Structure 1
Amino acid sequence: MKDKFQNISDKIRELLKNSPIEDMENNINALIKNKCTDLGLVSREEFDVQTEVLRKTREKLEAMEKALAEYETKQSK
């Protein structure tokens, strides 16, 4: 019985593979990606990269603020 279902499933996949449905799926995916770009949306990967850049920038800023505070303290003495 399992072989029959697998056989049917394989035939359906083969039919869909050679049909215009695959082209439609590719076109729809491209359309969605373009609209997301138009809306300024980014992928999760891009978001994660930018989050890491922001974290590193914050760390540098905090270090600079600390150094500036120490410098100002020394200068006021």
Structure 2
Amino acid sequence: MEIILYTSLFLLEIAALIAFSYWGFHVDKGIFIKVLLGISTPILIAFVWGLFLAPKATYPITETPYERYFKSEYSA
């Protein structure tokens, strides 16, 4: 069952990168901007994901701003 979960999460990540690439190639600008955004946006997203958000990230974010707000707001 765990393999299905990890496979679906991986496919969801790939689908997100494809969606960012699709967006980049369909911006209403010149061909140079389309190619630049279509190629660089998924690479940048994957880089940020690998550095900060992945389970084995180099610099993991331990708590989100949302969690930090509620800890400071509702702690006695």
Q: Same fold (TM over 0.5)?
A: no
**Greater per-residue helix proportion:** 1
TM-score by length of 2: 0.42
Greater RCO structure (CA 8 Å; 6+ sep): 2
| TM-score of the two chains, using structure 1 as the length reference | 0.41
**Who wins on radius of gyration, i.e. which is larger?**
1
